[in-house]
Amino acid sequence: MSEKSKPVIMYRPEDAGKQVMSSRGNVVTKRKYHMSPEEMEVHRAKWLKDIEAAEVPASIRKLAHPTFFNPFRHGIYYAQIQALYVLGANQDHEFSVILPQVQKIMMSFEMTQKDVDGKYVKVNAWKAFREKAPQGPDSRSKDIIGRIQENFLFFQRLAALHPCGYKLRQVGAALDMRREARAGLPNGLWYYKLHTFDDPEQAWPTRDFSQFDLTKRQKRFISYRFIGKIITADKTVFQGMEEARCDV
């Protein structure tokens, strides 16, 4: 069976710690990408304190489903999801509007890291992120903008070995993205949305390319490993969602 013909299997908490064969033929151990019920309570309590301290207005809070909370610890993942929440859940936001909000949130807390002498010191979280050397293959995005946009793709992952979006699904949310053509901008504009749901089982991410003419090379963003809804100019595909519900 070819790789593309294999069913898409969504991450299952009970599989964390098991050894499996990766797509490259290596034996790897599945990492833990979910929260336990106890961890969810702790994260929710901390997040409620965060939004109280930030004085997030009631008009913004009511835009998200009442059961939603930010499931990530303080860091760039937290800041990106929090930026979408503060700007308004269940609404599209253009990347140029999101970026300064991410920076503002990151600058509001500190992180601990080693200095040149090997001592642990507290530094501004945005400074730490900005100065952190990019990791991964050379094809990965290297600048701050590229790294943040790449993270938004990570939030849509529910399958395979690195389902970074599973915690969002646990809190009844998904990350939606939309790409729109714009004259004078070859890459168009990117919009992102924190989409919250009544039922976590309905929290599937969406990739909307209906207003952007994808080239053959750009169609790599429509991955066969993606679980969710893909919208193009001529069709809508609910990809991998039925298979993901199966106990494969």
Alpha-carbon span 171 to 82, nearest angstrom: 14
86 pLDDT tier (thresholds 50, 70, 90): very high
**For the whole model, what pTM was predicted?**
0.89
Average pLDDT score over residue span 33-57: 97
Whether pLDDT at 73 is above 90:
yes
pLDDT over 60 at 10, yes or no:
yes
* pLDDT band, very low/low/confident/very high, at 218 (cuts 50, 70, 90): low
pLDDT in tens, 172-217: 999 999 999 999 998 899 999 999 999 999 999 999 999 998 776 6
Domains contained in the chain, number: 1
- For residue 73, the enclosing domain spans 3-245
Residue 152: count other Cβ atoms within 10 Å of its Cβ: 20
pLDDT confidence of residue 176 = 98
Checking if the pLDDT of 221 tops 70, the result is: no
Alpha-helical regions (H) of the chain: 37-53, 58-61, 76-88, 95-106, 125-131, 144-154, 166-170, 241-245
91: Cβ–Cβ under 8 A, 6 or more apart, which residues? 63, 193
Which band of pLDDT confidence, cut at 50, 70 and 90, is reported for residue 226?
confident
Short-list 177, 161, 179, CA closest to 80: 177
- Model confidence at 2, in pLDDT bands (50, 70, 90)? very low
Place 245 in a pLDDT band, splitting at 50, 70 and 90.
very low
- CA atoms in the 13 A half-sphere facing the CB of 15: 18
Percent of the chain with pLDDT over 70: 85
Q: Output 127 or 44, whichever has higher pLDDT.
A: 44
Task: Please give the average per-residue pLDDT across 147-167, as a whole number.
Answer: 92
Pair type for strands 173-182 and 228-231: unpaired
